[in-house]
Chains A and B, each alone.
Chain A
Amino acid sequence: QSALTQPASVSGSPGQSITISCTGTSSDVGGYNYVSWYQQHPGKAPKLMIYEVSNRPSGVSNRFSGSKSGNTASLTISGLQAEDEADYYCSSYTSSSTLYWVFGGGTKLTVL
Chain B
Amino acid sequence: EVQLVESGGGLVQPGRSLRLSCAASGFTFDDYAMHWVRQAPGKGLEWVSGISWNSGSIGYADSVKGRFTISRDNAKNSLYLQMNSLRAEDTALYYCAKDQTVAGTPTGAFDIWGQGTMVTVSS
Binds A, one of B10-18, B22-30, B46-54, B75-83: B46-54
Whole-angstrom distance between the Cβ of A13 and the nearest chain B Cβ? 26
Number of A-B contacts (CB under 8 A): 78
B114 within 8 Å of A (CB atoms) = yes
Residues of B within 8 A of A101 (CB): 35, 47, 50, 108
Q: Are A57 and B111 in contact (CB under 8 A)?
A: yes
Residues of A within 8 A of B68 (CB): none
Q: A residues touching B (Cβ–Cβ < 8 Å)?
A: 1, 3, 34, 36, 38, 40, 45-48, 51-52, 57, 87, 89, 91-93, 96-106
Q: Are A51 and B109 in contact (CB under 8 A)?
A: yes
Give the residues from 27 to 43 in chain B that come closer than 8 angstroms, CB to CB, to chain A.
Answer: 33, 35, 37
Whole-angstrom distance between the Cβ of B61 and the nearest chain A Cβ? 7
Q: B residues touching A (Cβ–Cβ < 8 Å)?
A: 33, 35, 37, 44-47, 50-52, 57-62, 95, 100, 106-111, 113-116
Residues of B within 8 A of A99 (CB): 33, 50-52, 57-59, 106
Q: Are A51 and B100 in contact (CB under 8 A)?
A: yes
Q: Are A45 and B107 in contact (CB under 8 A)?
A: no
Residues of B within 8 A of A40 (CB): 45
Interchain CA distance A57-B112 in the complex, whole Å = 11
Whole-angstrom distance between the Cβ of B72 and the nearest chain A Cβ? 13
Can you name 24 A-B pairs with beta carbons within 8 Å?
A1-B61, A34-B107, A34-B108, A34-B109, A36-B108, A38-B45, A46-B110, A46-B113, A47-B113, A48-B109, A51-B111, A52-B107, A87-B44, A91-B110, A98-B57, A98-B59, A99-B33, A99-B52, A99-B58, A101-B50, A103-B44, A103-B45, A105-B44, A106-B44
Whole-angstrom distance between the Cβ of A92 and the nearest chain B Cβ? 7
Interchain CA distance A98-B51 in the complex, whole Å = 10
Interchain CA distance A84-B115 in the complex, whole Å = 20
Interchain CA distance A48-B100 in the complex, whole Å = 10
Interchain CA distance A3-B100 in the complex, whole Å = 22
Interchain CA distance A92-B106 in the complex, whole Å = 12
Q: A93-B107, A106-B45 are in contact. List 13 more A-B contacts (CB 8 A).
A: A3-B44, A34-B107, A34-B108, A36-B107, A38-B110, A45-B114, A46-B95, A51-B100, A89-B44, A99-B58, A99-B59, A101-B47, A102-B47
